[in-house]
Amino acid sequence: MVKKIDDETMENICILAKLTLSEAEKEKAKEEMQRMLDYVEKLNELDTSGVKPLSHLFPSHNIFREDVITSQDNRDALLGNAPEKKDGQFQVPKTIG
């Protein structure tokens, strides 16, 4: 059986979650959390001994393409549009003092 959520547990949850709730809101939250725990307890009653564990609902496969080099070193073409260049690299204004 699932332990009932008491006022002390609810207060700790509010502290950890940094929530400020009125007494009515705490009571409602307590009831909702208890319903969730009861539902999980109900699920624990199911016999899952013959069920294969899943990480995804649908089968997954690698959808990424292979890394293929499609161009050669065209540094000169790339630097052709640079306003300033130095030692084969873009030269930019200094930003850190």
Total number of residues shown for the chain? 97
Q: How many domains does the chain have?
A: 1
pLDDT of 34-66, one tens digit each? 999 999 999 888 898 888 888 777 777 777 888
Residue 28 has pLDDT above 70, yes or no: yes
- Whether 57 is in a domain gets the answer no
- The conformational region for residue 18 under phi > 0 = left, psi -120 to 50 = alpha, else beta, is left
- Whether 40 is in a domain gets the answer yes
- Whether 12 is in a domain gets the answer yes
Domain interval for residue 14: 7-44
* H or E element, residue 85: strand 85-86
- Whether 81 is in a domain gets the answer no
Per-residue tokens: 4:
């009932």
This model's pTM is above 0.85: no
Res 26: pLDDT: 94
